[in-house]
Copies of this chain bind each other. A is one copy, B any other.
Amino acid sequence: MKTLKVALLGCGNVGSQVARILLDDAEDLASRTGARLELTGIAVRNPDAPRDTDLPRNLFTTDAEKLVEGADIVIELMGGMEPARTLMLHAIGHGASVVTGNKALLAADGATLFEKADAAGVRLAYEAAVAGAIPILRPIRDSLSGDRITKVMGIVNGTTNYILDAMDSTGAQFADALADAQRLGYAEADPTADVEGHDAASKGAILASLAFHTNFDLANVSCEGISSVTADDIAAAKDAGFVIKLLAIAEKLDNDGEPGVSVRVHPTLLPRTHPLAAVHGAFNAVFVEAENAGELMFYGQGAGGAPTASAVMGDVVSTARRLVLGGPLGAETPTGSVPALPFAKVTTSYSIGLQVTDQPGVLAAVAQVFAEHGVSIETMRQTIHADGTASSAELRFVTHRASEAALAATVEAIKGLDIINSVTSVLRVEGV
């Protein structure tokens, strides 16, 4: 039986689980791949740092460069830009296939890596980079290869889904829900990358690239996080039959005959009957619309050591099988070239909350602004708060679909009205 040398870069949460599986399940893996997978070493900064699992001390090395040079398969789980990028290129240059979970690097510079892997005839696999354990890359790339995807909407960040789900079920404010999530380990001490949507944006770029066979990077993604979502927003949404989710959306638009793809991340109102609305806690899900298949959804754990290690090992086994059986590797560079559309070109629907003084003519004045911008109103709800002397009211509008540019201009114009106390919330609506 052939032996394949496997080098592991990084031994954190995911890496240590991958090492455990490679060592504990060696026999099973050999029978599934037809080759012995030999873990030749684990490159880390500090071999003596404490680890989750008990791994043989002699596997650890600080010389990552030398480790990858002798490998058939390099598993990169260090994260971040450097030295991950240089080491992956070094591995590719030495003829190794690479399995990675590095979404930030792929979203920033995937094009270069894919091109190099393709030129070298090695595989670059990255199932773990989007939605952790959920098999999404292979279904999109292979199973739907005879269909045409029109839209992808993903809950791809567990931290923000956990926070929004807690706000929805307990009525908590964002700050309190975040603090709870931090206490329970669902959010990091510095939660910026999660709550501001940057992590979701990286995954959105990768999903868009896969779905539309074109390289999109982080610069093509419009991004808005959840830190301004209030308990009032959630309550009002709930009242109207919606739930608020942070979605990464990649959508093909006709754009007046010049088709393009919009990639964006923003808090979104979804009908509570939508399949994505049933995704609770830190779970992830990716909802796909295709011309023939219709609606599909893939659901599972988006993070965590063992779940993400499962995705990594799926790529390792499939790469090893190919190395054993022969046949072409390669990274499958994108075949298409659909341009990325700026957000202003996107057609969407808004939910707008306004605080107004309850006096005659307010609704007429606001409605007039909508009409002037060619935006039509789907529903309006008014809630009146009387406080003894004057009374104020809250108005919540949901619009029909209109261009993002027209909607943004409408909101600006409403803000300029004297009779408006404040625009309390602007959220986009999908799934209706």
Instruction: Mark A residues whose CB is within 8 Å of B.
Output: 17, 21, 25, 28-29, 31-32, 127, 133-135, 138-139, 142-148, 273, 275, 278, 280, 290-301, 304, 306-307, 309-318, 321-322, 325-328, 335
Contact = CB atoms under 8 A, between A and B. Distances in A.
Given A32-B145, A145-B318, A299-B275, A307 B292 contact: yes
B296 A146 contact: no
B292 A296 contact: no
A145 B37 CA distance: 14
A143 B293 contact: no
A143 B147 contact: no
Contacts of A295: 299-301
Given A21-B146, A144-B310, A325-B327, 10 more contacts: A135-B139, A135-B142, A135-B143, A138-B143, A147-B313, A293-B307, A296-B299, A322-B327, A326-B327, A327-B327
Contact of A290 (B142, B143, B280, B310): B310
Q: Copies of this chain, how many?
A: 2
A146 B292 contact: no
B296 A297 contact: no
B328 A147 contact: no
Contacts of A273: 280
Contact of A135 (B294, B296, B314, B318): B296
Contact of A32 (B133, B280, B304, B335): B335
The 5 closest A-B pairs by CB, nearest first: A327-B327, A146-B313, A135-B143, A135-B139, A292-B310
Contacts of A29: 146
